[in-house]
Amino acid sequence: MAGLTVHVAVRDDHGVTHSFGPGQDVPEWAARQITNPKVWDSVPDVEEIDGGQGGGGEGNPSGGGDEPPPLAGPGSGRDPWATYASQHGVEVAEDDKRDEIVAKLREAGVRVE
């Protein structure tokens, strides 16, 4: 499985925050939430993350999959939107803000809500 290059913090289903860093094993539930490709030494394979189960669940609030990330609240930051844009072929510059990315997606006709 891919390893982390920096320390990250994610919340479990009970709202408890867990942190992981380089050299630590990241549980599957946490790896699914870590969507910023810049924190991994290589992009994790979907098979590695979900054990080949195919995802399931009700959309992905972090921008992975067909559902757009939320426009407000948890999972609504720049990185999930940048990931979502790249999955839909919309080019995002390093300095683009979240609202600029959403505007580019709208211009490209990609669903944002």
pLDDT for residue 47 is more than 80: no
Q: What is the mean pLDDT of the chain?
A: 81
Q: Give the pLDDT of residue 61.
A: 47
pLDDT tens track for 61-70: 444 457 899 8
Q: Give the pLDDT of residue 3.
A: 87
Q: Measured between alpha carbons, how far is 37 from 40 in angstroms, rounded to an integer?
A: 6
Token pair 């399931």 in the structure block, residue = 56
pLDDT for residue 40 is more than 80: yes
Q: Measured between alpha carbons, how far is 15 from 105 in angstroms, rounded to an integer?
A: 31
